[in-house]
Amino acid sequence: MPNLRFRDALYVAAFIVIAAPALGADKPVKVFVLAGQSNMQGHGFVAAEPKRNEGKGSLEYVAKQPATADKFKHLLGKDGKWAVRDDVFIHYLERKGKLTAGFGVQPDRIGPELGFGCVVGDAYEEPVLLVKLAWGGKSLGKDFRPPSAGGEVGPYYTEVIDRTKAVLKDLKKEFPEFGDRGYELAGFGWHQGWNDRVNQAFVDEYEKNMAHFIRDVRKDLGAKDLPFVIAETGMTGPDEKHPRALALMKAQAAVAEHKEFKGNVAFVKTQSFWRADAMSPTKQGYHWNSNAETYYLIGEAMGHAMKSLCEKKPQK
């Protein structure tokens, strides 16, 4: 009999050890929407193509250069290939899968999603889903214009709302790995502004439009006080002197200072992430010179800001 009781005790203990992790398995998927125009799409080159300035500024270059390798080593697997996360997933228009390098505007590019996904993926036990909704050449003043701003509602505002809802409605179909977990819409990241900063009228109303956009997104997605991160349109770096560019960045920063947005909206400065064309794959200043390090750092900073906002949000 003592032996039986001992075996029973071992069985119970083993059951507890095995069953404990399953408690976390029932937590809903953390969903973050990443939206904007071409710089949210992402134009940072992955491969170090010698013809593109000896590969400088590509993800491969910064991941292997002694000066930056330690910062980016987590992006490479033991086999030297790009690591694929099994805890962070992405749905980007017609593409989806586990997060890795290659979810930029084309499969050979990255955007802010990679740095953002690494930060929030490390922050949560439950799986993370990034719903990325970005299209090149789109303004907040017209294309993303929110309903409460007045005038014609921007078609891409509608796209953001409708596509987000569609992914969440068919979450199990889109990602069978999630099973019946359900989801929590946890945050919204925004990187956009070039098509407004080249238009004085759009610059003048950017702060107002951005505030309307945040309110309307929260209302239309049914997520009161949804944490919202705005990444600065800081192309050309700290030496920027153009009055429209400076005014637009000032407007972006001002939104986070609104009384109603204190503690639930964050502004992320990006000018320090600018890399000159001498250290980059291209001279496309409006696309951060296609520098992958820049795009990663923008996403990483957005991720840390989002993590901070989510920690402040009262738990239900």
Contact of 91 with 166, CB cutoff 8 Å = no
Residue 9 lies in a domain: no
CA distance linking residue 77 with residue 223, whole number of Å? 37
pLDDT of residue 315: 63
SS3 content of the chain, % helix, strand, coil (to 5): 50, 15, 35
pLDDT at 253 over 60: yes
Residue 110 lies in a domain: yes
Average pLDDT over residues 57-62: 98
The alpha helices in 198-315, defined as continuous H runs, are: 200-204, 206-220, 243-255, 292-312
Q: How many domains does the chain have?
A: 1
Pairing outcome for strands 228-231 and 265-268: parallel
Question: Torsion angle of alpha carbons 287, 290, 293, 294, nearest 10°?
Answer: -10
Residue 90 lies in a domain: yes
**Domain of residue 288, residue span:** 30-312
pLDDT of residue 316: 57
Instruction: Give the containing element (helix H, strand E) for 76.
Output: none
Residue 15 lies in a domain: no
pLDDT at 87 over 50: yes
pLDDT of residue 19: 37
- The closest alpha carbon to 257, from 217, 198, 295, 214, belongs to 214
Residue 82 lies in a domain: yes
pLDDT at 17 over 90: no
pLDDT at 210 over 70: yes
- The closest alpha carbon to 90, from 233, 316, 299, belongs to 299
SS3 36: strand
User: Confidence class of residue 26 from pLDDT cuts 50, 70 and 90?
Assistant: confident
CA distance linking residue 26 with residue 18, whole number of Å? 15
Tokens matching residue 287: 């696309």
Residue 23 lies in a domain: no
pLDDT at 11 over 50: no
Tokens matching residue 29: 């998927």
Q: How many residues are present in the chain?
A: 316
The pTM (predicted TM-score) of the whole model is: 0.92
Average pLDDT over residues 5-24: 39
State phi, psi for 17 to the nearest 5 degrees: -65, -45
Average pLDDT, the chain: 92
**CATH code, domain with 158:** 3.40.50.1110
Contact of 289 with 297, CB cutoff 8 Å = no
pLDDT of residue 18: 36
Residue 173 lies in a domain: yes
Contact of 299 with 113, CB cutoff 8 Å = yes
Residue 239 lies in a domain: yes
Chain-centroid distance of CA 72 in Å reads 17
pLDDT of residue 312: 85
pLDDT of residue 25: 64
pLDDT of residue 204: 98
SS3 172: helix
pLDDT of residue 301: 98
The rounded percent of the chain whose pLDDT value lies above 90 is 90
Average pLDDT over residues 86-108: 98
Average pLDDT over residues 213-238: 97
